Amino acid sequence: MARKVLVLEDESSIRSFIVINLTRAGYEVIESGTGEEALEKLQDNPDIRVALLDIMLPGIDGFEVCRRIRATNTRIGIIMLTARSQEMDKVTGLMTGADDYVTKPFSPAELTARVDALFRRAGGAAPEQAGEIYQEPFLLNTRNRTLAKKGQRVKLTQVEYSIMKMFMENPGKALSREEILDMVWGRDYFGELKIVDVNIRRLRLKIEDNAQNPTYINTVWGYGYKWGF
């Protein structure tokens, strides 16, 4: 999993400061000095996981860049770089789809902590948090977000992966459909419970020996599902 971060900042001294510190923290940093350039580099590097966006820029500003990124990409983590004198920036930034903000001037430790936190949430666990969950015959790699069954790769969507991870972290526990919806889609997702059943039906086709007679993902009638027995 690439640990790629985009830094958009027009002031070269601040940009170098950020680049040096993130590189030291183990990130591969893509730099840009304008919003237009940042959008191009994001297109060329779809594996960028986190973007740091300065607000005041020549050309389109950081809010506009954020808005344009979010129009097509909901997965990337976005941190706005705000000035202390511009309290309103935080609200505006979050409204346009940013996940977090860092106020200038910031320390290297503060910066990397924020990027690390968002990087993990954006689905790319940092190496020290990486791990594997093994439950015969399944091996879930939480670093690559991949699943293998008897050594054979099972191709999963992001949602299916999240469901598998949830099950494997809760073996033998009956989980209600509401709990599953909260854990996989998030508490702020206002969807129908049916989406849980649809995804589990699809997941069973991929992981069960016989999806008509599932033995791994068991139905708990009138309640939800349970992993294993």
- Residues interacting with Ca ion, by CB under 5 A? 10, 54, 56
Closer to Ca ion by Cβ: residue 13 or 74: 13
The SS3 call for residue 41 is helix
Q: Say which residues have a Cβ less than 8 Å from residue 156's Cβ, sequence separation at least 6.
A: 146, 147, 164, 203, 206
Shortest spacing between CB 61 and Ca ion, in angstroms: 9
Shortest spacing between CB 62 and Ca ion, in angstroms: 8
Shortest spacing between CB 224 and Ca ion, in angstroms: 50
Closer to Ca ion by Cβ: residue 16 or 219: 16
Shortest spacing between CB 55 and Ca ion, in angstroms: 7
Closer to Ca ion by Cβ: residue 60 or 183: 60
Are the C-beta atoms of 187 and 227 separated by less than 8 Å? no
b/e sequence 189-215, b meaning 16+ C-beta within 10 Å: eeeeeebbeebbebbbeebeeeeeebe
- Count CA within 13 A, CB hemisphere, residue 117: 12
Indicate the length of the chain as a whole number: 229
Closer to Ca ion by Cβ: residue 33 or 224: 33
Taking CB atoms, the residue at the shortest distance from Ca ion is: 56
